[in-house]
Each structure stands twice: as structure tokens, then as C-alpha cells.
Amino acid sequence: MKRTNRSLWVQAMKDKDKTKEILLAELETLRRQVAELQDLQNRLKSREEDLRRSEERFRTFADSTYDWETWRAPDGKYLYVSPSCERITGYRSEEFIADPSLVTRIVHPDDQAIVTKHVLEDFRTHGALHMDFRIITRTGEERFISHYCQSVFGKDGEWLGRRASNRDISIRKHAEMELRRVNRALKVLGESSQAMARAVDEKEFLAEVSRMIVDVGGYRLAWIGYAQEDEKKSVRPVAQAGFEEGYLEKADITWADTQRGRGPTGTSIRTRRPTVCKNILKDPRFAPWRGEAVRRGYGSSIALPVRTGDNVIGALNIYATEPDAFDAEEVHLLEELASDISYGLTALRNKFEREKAEEALVKSSNKIKMFAYSVSHDLKNPAIAVYGLAKRLNRYSKDRLDERGRTYCDQIMKASEHIASLVEKINLYIKTKEVPLSIEKVRLKDIVDTVKEEFAPQLAGRQIRWLEPEAIPEVKADRTSMVRVLRNLVDNALKYGGHDLSEIRISYQESEDTHILSVEDDGIGLKDEDATTLFGPFKRKRMAGKVEGAGLGLAIVKEIAEQHKGRVWLDPAIKKGAAFHISISKNL
């Protein structure tokens, strides 16, 4: 400033033509210009400070973003990488800036192709792009990245490169995968009950379950093996579905405590617990089968014990393409599936055994029936003949017989009648078991009246009161069977009531599901031990030796009750006499 003023003074002295006023005016102008220059300099300095602060704020803002943000110049080099990259990848922003190819090197091997294609497309288009891919972090952890990118332009329209935003979506992706796994297990579990319902035999059932696990659940392979009790303790595959390609033929799996028995299948059978192989490539227990398994795309597996009753008979084996496929929730659902399979096998085997037993029973029943018919025929005809001969002997030779001879004739005739009656009872018992019911509406009052009339002579001769309800409803039943029931129960009361029998009471009551008909008497009653045996064939009251009977009447009543989806029982609480009750279902 001082040099400038001095120069001006010198110039003024040299210019002698200028007046003092002109010189002062010029000097004032120069001073004003200097002041303006100083003001401009101060404003420039202030703007530089504002720009620095603004840049600092924007960098702070960018550096503080949660996602991994980048800006690549048109030449592919990074102009900016946010510090969040270190939290997501384990690598610092400086490393990405120094080596732009680092981002492609950390991409998961299975996603390299799609990321390479994306990078090429990224710099050929100015539009927005999106993709999801996986990376391997510095520590070896697999993470899922959601990537969005778009072009950056200056105010003049100049292309300045590509900006990208990368978000770690691993938690969401793992939740989605877990949900998919759980859903596939749930679908398989839901289908298993239908497979059980459709199954006709064991082989078909296991094949259907294996197919369902692969087709519905989306698993790579499913097979079921039975533990053999041979010297080697081998595991024999009995059903399979999915991509197997000879794997089981080469597997040579056992359930012994040896190298080939310590894999998931053998361990599950021995320990009776599910066994998971999370990663077939790394699990040392899978070493004997690793090569064949990897060639077929198996990434992980689970084996679950299969039971019949309390016995483990084998294992259900499921393979998935991805490692770590079986989390706790999926294992729990697959345990339920194995339980369903075990239940289905037990039911099918029980059904098979029951059918065999029923077939044997039918054969035995037919033999017994033929034998009974044969015996009844062989007994009835001679009994009738003996009766006839004894009767003729008594009629035509009565005068020649003494008292003892006539007594013998009477006894022979009574014994013959008893044999014929027994044969009729046997035939009636067989018919009761063999002849199907004819269900119709039956007025119980008519049945009661019919039986009362049938026994009227005995009731009158022994002066026994007959009591019955004023109204008895109509029921759905087999008419003939109802007559047999009431006839046998009344006959039983008359036979075993003793000389003091004075009353027979018929009563009716109902429950929500059954009609109940009762026959009570005030006779000598029954002993407690009789109540447990009376309803079997040829079972009679202990003190009934002098009373004629075949011991089939109450057995017939029991059979009829069961055919009508009911039961018959003796009231143990009654103090005097006997009370028999029979129930029949209202839903016939």
C-alpha cells in the first residue's frame, strides 16, 4: 500500500499539468478501489470457509450412513466409500479405494457370475439397477447384500460415474429361509396324515411318504432304512425318493458303533434321537460318504428314528442342497413327521396282524359252526329217537315195568327233551351271531305284551305279579332280537327266582345315547361271583344244578346287546332278587 501511494505521488509530481483537486480526486478513487478489493478478498475467504464447513457437514453426513455407500468415477475408481463398509464387510474404505477390484473378490463364489454381469451392465447404462448377492466377509462370514445403483450427473449434464447403496439384509434373508424351511416341513407334516389314510400296505405307505417329502417339501433326497439284526448290523433301504442316482447302493451304512455306523443314520438308530449333519463338506462323521454326497448336491442332512411301539426299527433320512438347512424349528416339525410315520407303521402292522387274526378267527369260527351244526344234528336225531322209544316203552309196556323201571323211563324222556332243547339253544346262539340285524321301528310295548302272554300260565300258576310301565316308547332295533332278549331275561327270573319269587318288574329308562330295558325280580338273587361269569356261553348260576338249562340264554342276550352297540349288566347293588339291564344305541 505504501509503495503504491509513493508511486502515485511521484507520478503526480511528474504531471505538472494536473491541479491539486484533480490529484486528490484520483487519490480518493484509488482508495475506494483498494477498499473494494479488500472486501472482495474477505468475502472470498468467508465463502471458502463456508464451503469447507459445508463439505465437512456433507462428509460427516455421508460417513455416518448406516448402509455401505460408494461413488465410482467413470474410470471405475472409487471417489468415495463410506466407513460403514467396514461394519458390513470387515474391510476399510481405504482398502476399497486403493483396490477397486476388492468388491468383486469378496462376492460369494456362487454369485460371482451375476455380479460380474451386473458390473458390466452398470457402466453401460445410466438407469437405476438392483440386485441381491452374497459376500464373504474378512472373517469368513456369509452375508446377504441388497445393492442399488444409479448414475451421477453434474449441473452441466456431465456423467460423473455411478453411485451405489449396499444394505446388509442377512437377518431378513435368514428369517425368510427359516420361514421357507419351516413352511416346507409344515407342508410335509400336513400331507403325512393323508398318506396314512391312503396307504394300503407298509411298502406303499413308506414310498408315498418319501415321495411327499421330496415333492412337497422340496428336499433333495429322502429315504427310509430298517435296522437289520444281522452280524454287520446293516441298514436296509426300504423306500426312497428324489435325486439318489445309486447313492444308497454304494453307501453301505450300518448302525454298529463303527466308522460307517457313526454317521447320522446309524447314530440316530443307536441313540434313538434325531441326528443332524449341518455341513456335509466339513462334518468329519460324514467322511465315508462325502465324495458321493457332494457329487449329488447334498449339502446337509438329518436322520430321525422310526419306531413301532417302543422299539426303534430304523431311520428316516432327509437331505437338503444347502448347508445348515435344518434349524431347531424345522427339526421339531420333522420329529413330528417321524412320529407320524411311526404311528402309521404301527397302525398298518396292527391292521395286518388283526386281519390275519380275523381271517384265522373266521376259519376257526366256520369250523366250530360246522362242528356245532354237525353235533346238534347228530345229537338231536338220536335224542328224538330215544325219547320216542322211551315213550313207547312207557306206553306199551307200562304194566310189565316195576316202579323203578317206570321212573327210569321218565328220566330218559326228560333227558332226551333236555338234549333236544340244548340243541335248539345252540342253533339259536349260532344264528344270533351269524344272522345280520334287520333294524326297524319296534314298539317295545308290543314286545312286552307278547312275552307276558307267552309266560302267562307260569305267572298265574305261581301267582307272580307282572309289573310294567304304562308307556314304553318306540325304538329302532331288530324285532326278533328284542323278543329273544326279553324272553331270556324273564325265563331266567322264573327259573332261578326260587319258590319265594312273587314279582317280575319290567322298566324302561334312557340316557343321551341309549335306551335301557330292565327286568327285575324279588327272588333268591345271585352271588357276587355269579355276576362276573353269567354272560359267557354255557355259564350258569352256581346253585342251579337242579334247574334245567343250557347256559346260553344270557350269552345270547349279551351278543344281541353288543350287536345293537350296547351292553348287558347285572345290578350288584340290589339287596334282594336280581336286576338285569340291557342298553341299545339310539344311533342304529
**Per-residue pLDDT reduced to its tens digit, 331-365:** 888 888 888 888 888 888 888 877 787 777 677 66
| Cα–Cα dist 16/522, whole Å | 168
Strands 514-521, 129-136: parallel, antiparallel or unpaired by DSSP?
Answer: unpaired
Q: Percent of the chain at pLDDT above 70?
A: 79
Kindly state whether residue 197 falls inside one of the protein's structural domains.
Answer: no
User: Is the pLDDT higher at 358 or at 558?
Assistant: 558
In the predicted model, is pLDDT for residue 419 greater than 70?
no
pLDDT at site 545? 44
pLDDT digits (tens, 9 = 90+) for 81-98: 999 999 999 999 999 999
Are 30 and 83 members of one domain? no
Nine-digit cell at 517?
Answer: 330295558
- For residues 33 and 87, membership in a common domain is answered with no
Distance CA 2, CA 445 (A): 145
Q: Report the CATH number at residue 69.
A: 3.30.450.20
pLDDT at 167: 94
pLDDT of residue 433: 59
Q: For residue 78, what pLDDT is reported?
A: 92
Percent of the chain's residues with pLDDT above 90:
36
- Helix spans in 444-541 (H): 444-454, 456-461, 479-496, 528-531
**For 287-303, what is each residue's pLDDT tens digit?**
999 999 999 999 999 99
Band of pLDDT at residue 546, cut at 50, 70 and 90: very low
Residue 223 has pLDDT above 90, yes or no: yes
159-168 vs 68-72, strand pairing mode: antiparallel
pLDDT of residue 538: 45
Q: What is the residue range of 37's domain?
A: 2-62
Distance CA(212)–CA(242), nearest Å, equals: 10
- Assess if residue 189 is contained within a domain: no
The domain boundary residue, chosen from 43, 62, 81: 62
Residue 450 in any domain: the answer is yes
The residue that leads in pLDDT, 246 or 11, is 246
Residue type at 264 in one-letter notation: P
Higher-confidence position of 455 and 572: 455
What does the pLDDT average to over 218-225? 93
Confidence class for position 465, pLDDT limits 50, 70, 90: very high
Q: Provide the 10 A C-beta neighbour count for residue 34.
A: 13
Give the integer Cα–Cα distance in Å for 411 and 414.
Answer: 5
Please check whether residues 32 and 140 belong to one and the same domain.
Answer: no
Mean pLDDT in residue range 556-572: 86
Q: Are residues 58 and 71 in the same domain?
A: no
pLDDT band of residue 251 (cuts 50, 70, 90) is: very high
CA angle 69–179–286, rounded 5-degree value: 95
If one compares 168 and 185, the residue with the highest pLDDT of the two is 168
- How high is the pLDDT of residue 557? 85
| Amino acid 544: pLDDT | 44
Q: Is residue 317 part of a domain?
A: no
Q: Mean of the pLDDT values across residues 63-89?
A: 90
Specify the range with the lowest mean pLDDT, choosing from 48-57, 157-166, 248-257, 544-553: 544-553
Rounded mean pLDDT, 547-555: 60
- Same structural domain for residues 464 and 563? yes
Q: Is the model's pLDDT at 121 over the cut of 70?
A: yes
Task: Please give the full DSSP string across 1-57, using - where no structure is assigned.
Answer: -HHHHHHHHHHHHH-TTS-HHHHHHHHHHHHHHHHHHHHHHHHHHHHHHHHHHHHHH
Residue 182 lies in a domain: no
Number of domains forming the structure of the chain: 3
Confidence label for 313 from pLDDT (cuts 50, 70 and 90): very high
Residue 158 predicted with pLDDT over 70: yes
Specify the CATH number for the domain of residue 512: 3.30.565.10
pLDDT of 122 reads 67
Domain boundary among 16, 45, 62: 62
pLDDT for 542 equals 43
Domain boundary among 168, 193, 210: 168
Read off the pLDDT of each residue in 535-551 and give the average, rounded to a whole number: 49
* Statement to judge: residues 38 and 109 lie in one domain: no
The chain-wide mean pLDDT, for the chain, equals: 82
Query: Looking at the structure, do residues 461 and 561 belong to the same domain, yes or no?
Result: yes
